[in-house]
């Protein structure tokens, strides 16, 4: 009786290991541009989501980035002081944006 149980267990386990294959998650690396106080952006902008999430927006204008940083602080309660917010906005506009008064 014990042998049959063990054999059944063995068969079930082998059957499962054929069916359940490990899923490979795609890994997308979004390196942050170094310099211009990138460490400030790293310190704060990676608390809640990845850098990829930020860069998925593509190149954006200064009003977009300052609005986005303000949204992170006001709505999502990102703990970033005024000075550091400005450093991050300048960093984002320089490396992931352009100077413009347009809202996008």
Tokens 């996008």 correspond to 104
Question: Rounded to the nearest whole angstrom, what is the least distance from the CB of residue 82 to ligand HEC in the complex?
Answer: 12
Asked if 81 and 60 count as a contact pair (C-beta separation under 8 A), the reply is: no
Cβ nearer to ligand HEC, comparing 77 with 82 = 77
Question: Rounded to the nearest whole angstrom, what is the least distance from the CB of residue 28 to ligand HEC in the complex?
Answer: 16
Question: Rounded to the nearest whole angstrom, what is the least distance from the CB of residue 21 to ligand HEC in the complex?
Answer: 32
Question: Rounded to the nearest whole angstrom, what is the least distance from the CB of residue 10 to ligand HEC in the complex?
Answer: 47
Spatial distance between the Cα atoms of 3 and 67, rounded to a whole number of angstroms: 68
Cβ nearer to ligand HEC, comparing 8 with 43 = 43
Cβ nearer to ligand HEC, comparing 57 with 61 = 57
Tokens 């944006």 correspond to 97
Cβ nearer to ligand HEC, comparing 45 with 93 = 45
Q: Which of 51, 83, 87, 89 is nearest to 71 (CA)?
A: 89
Q: Using CB under 6 A as the criterion, which residues of the chain lie in contact with ligand HEC when the complex forms?
A: 44-45, 47-49, 53-54, 57, 68-69, 71-72, 76-78, 80, 88
- List Cβ<8 Å contacts ≥24 apart for 67-74: 67/103, 72/45, 72/48
């Amino acid at each position: 009786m014990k042998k049959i149980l063990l054999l059944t267990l063995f068969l079930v386990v082998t059957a499962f290991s054929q069916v359940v294959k490990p899923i490979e998650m795609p890994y997308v690396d979004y390196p942050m541009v170094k310099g211009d106080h990138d460490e400030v952006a790293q310190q704060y902008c990676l608390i809640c989501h990845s850098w990829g999430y930020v860069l998925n927006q593509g190149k954006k204008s200064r009003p977009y980035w300052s609005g986005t940083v303000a949204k992170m602080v006001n709505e999502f309660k990102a703990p970033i002081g005024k000075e550091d917010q400005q450093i991050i906005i300048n960093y984002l506009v320089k490396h992931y944006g352009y100077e413009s008064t347009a809202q996008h």
